């Protein structure tokens, strides 16, 4: 589907005799309306400039700079080619019964008209999804290769996404049309989404294995129930995704388990209070990662919650609050337990991954 971030060709018949042209979709809706940015002050956009995103975000001064067209009137630009959907790509379904479900492309039936896809949402196949009803979905952390524009050939990771148009308050763009990429050489660049391609081989190999049993999840220990934990929202790899969730990916916040995690409530979303805005959203436990860095309290102590075993493999301290007193180069940390019945002079060693930050940093 042609969505924000796609370069398109505009036929001469639409431009009222001004000759054929091209532009970038800066916003679109599910009903087919597309806002296409063609120029700045009448000067056509240069797709190879490093400042292309800046040009797209400028307010359209000339009525010809940005035009509103129906999706049926435009086509993918011949230089950039079709909006390639490849095997292994992550896509979001934009229309139909499975609206806003996220899945991976398992098979492409290109001989059929229109081309159809078989998708996998986790291990559940979704058959006969029209290619024109899906859009690629990029999320923070995705490895990508840039295929066009000023940075063609460069590789990096998605650092964030953003809208390509100044929207009215309360309106959102989904999926976002712009990507902020951290290139492998350390440079940060902004590009339209069509200029990038998921590096599927790296993406698949770098994704952590999904726990088969709830008992394998880091939040599953009963002692973590009722404890405030500092978490980071991971990419949502399947199921339905909302604009709110898509914007929250990569952000940090605080959650509290109101009851122990079990197979019966594992898929029930947890409430997470986002640090940046204090806004509360609902996220399934599967997509929450621990923030291992301890939290400084008012006295300057580094406070954390134990979420894993000690360096010796002991799990008896999970759920306890500790003060981090030292750390070595390999990430092992020595801590003091914050319980009154413990000897404050006794230290216990934990690996870095066995600790989680907490906002209840009091002693």
- According to the model, what pLDDT value does residue 344 have? 54
What's the longest Cα–Cα distance across the chain? 85
Question: Nearest 5°: phi and psi at 72?
Answer: -70, -15
Compute the radius of gyration of the chain from its Cα atoms: 24
pLDDT greater than 70 at residue 280: yes
Q: Tokens at residue 8, please?
A: 């398109």
pLDDT greater than 70 at residue 5: yes
What's 214-290's CATH class?
mainly beta
- According to the model, what pLDDT value does residue 100 have? 83
- According to the model, what pLDDT value does residue 275 have? 80
**Distances in Å between the alpha carbon of 265 and those of 18, 257, 262, 285?**
60, 11, 5, 9
Residue whose tokens read 């700079």 = 65
Percent with pLDDT over 90 in the chain: 17
From CA 230, how far away is CA 236, in angstroms rounded? Answer: 18
Going by C-alpha positions, the residue among 174, 170, 149 that lies closest to residue 161 is 174
Q: Is 297 exposed, middle or buried (0-12, 13-18, 19+ CB in 10 A)?
A: middle
- According to the model, what pLDDT value does residue 166 have? 76
Domain 214-290 shares a fold with domain 295-357: yes
C-beta of residue 308 within 8 angstroms of C-beta of residue 320: no
Confidence of residue 179 (pLDDT cuts 50, 70, 90): very high
**Distances in Å between the alpha carbon of 259 and those of 205, 220, 270?**
33, 10, 11
Question: Nearest 5°: phi and psi at 297?
Answer: -95, -175
Question: Nearest 5°: phi and psi at 194?
Answer: -65, -20
Q: Tokens at residue 322, please?
A: 């500790």
C-beta of residue 74 within 8 angstroms of C-beta of residue 94: no
What residue ranges do the domains of the chain occupy?
7-76, 90-136, 214-290, 295-357
Confidence of residue 363 (pLDDT cuts 50, 70, 90): very low
C-beta of residue 20 within 8 angstroms of C-beta of residue 8: no
pLDDT in tens, 91-107: 889 888 888 888 888 88
C-beta of residue 88 within 8 angstroms of C-beta of residue 103: no
pLDDT greater than 60 at residue 69: yes
Instruction: For 307-359, give the DSSP string.
Output: -S--TT---TTTT-EEEEEEE-TTS-EEEEE--TTS-TT--EEE-GGGEEE-S
Instruction: For 228-245, give the DSSP string.
Output: EEEEEEPP--SEE--HHH
C-beta of residue 142 within 8 angstroms of C-beta of residue 159: no
- According to the model, what pLDDT value does residue 189 have? 95
Residue whose tokens read 């006969």 = 128
Cis previous bond, 91, omega within 30: no
pLDDT in tens, 203-218: 555 555 454 578 888 8
- According to the model, what pLDDT value does residue 286 have? 85
What's 295-357's CATH class?
mainly beta
Confidence of residue 9 (pLDDT cuts 50, 70, 90): confident
């Amino acid at each position: 589907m042609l969505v924000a971030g796609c370069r398109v060709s505009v036929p001469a018949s639409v431009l009222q005799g001004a000759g054929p042209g091209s532009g970038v979709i800066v916003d679109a809706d599910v009903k087919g309306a597309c806002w296409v940015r063609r120029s700045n002050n009448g000067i056509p956009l240069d797709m190879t400039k490093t400042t292309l995103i800046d040009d797209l975000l400028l307010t359209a001064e000339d009525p010809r700079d940005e035009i509103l067209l129906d999706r049926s009137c435009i086509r993918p630009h011949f230089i950039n080619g079709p909006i390639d959907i490849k095997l292994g790509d992550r896509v979001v379904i934009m229309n139909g019964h499975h609206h806003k479900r996220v899945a991976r492309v398992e098979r492409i039936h290109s001989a059929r008209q229109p081309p159809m896809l078989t998708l996998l949402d986790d291990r559940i196949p979704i058959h006969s999804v029209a290619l024109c009803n899906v859009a690629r979905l990029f999320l923070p952390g995705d490895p990508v290769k840039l295929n066009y524009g000023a940075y063609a050939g460069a590789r990096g990771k998605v650092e964030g996404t953003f809208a390509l148009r100044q929207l009215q308050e309360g309106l959102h763009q989904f999926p976002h049309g712009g990507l902020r990429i951290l290139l492998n050489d350390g440079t940060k660049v902004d590009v339209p989404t069509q200029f990038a391609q998921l590096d599927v081989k790296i993406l698949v190999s770098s994704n952590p294995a999904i726990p088969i049993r709830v008992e394998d999840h880091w939040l599953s220990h009963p002692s973590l129930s009722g404890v405030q934990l500092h978490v980071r929202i991971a990419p949502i790899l399947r199921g339905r995704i909302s604009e709110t969730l898509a914007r929250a990916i990569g952000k940090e916040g605080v959650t509290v388990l109101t009851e122990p995690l079990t197979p019966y409530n594992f898929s029930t979303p947890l409430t997470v209070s986002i640090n940046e805005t204090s806004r509360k959203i609902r996220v399934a436990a599967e997509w929450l990662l621990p923030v291992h860095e301890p939290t400084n309290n008012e006295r300057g102590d580094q406070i954390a919650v134990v979420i894993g075993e000690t360096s010796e493999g002991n799990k008896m301290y999970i759920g306890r609050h500790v003060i981090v007193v030292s750390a070595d180069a390999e990430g092992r940390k020595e801590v003091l337990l914050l319980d009154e019945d413990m000897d404050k002079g006794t230290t216990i060693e934990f690996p870095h991954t066995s600790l989680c930050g907490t906002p209840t940093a009091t002693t």
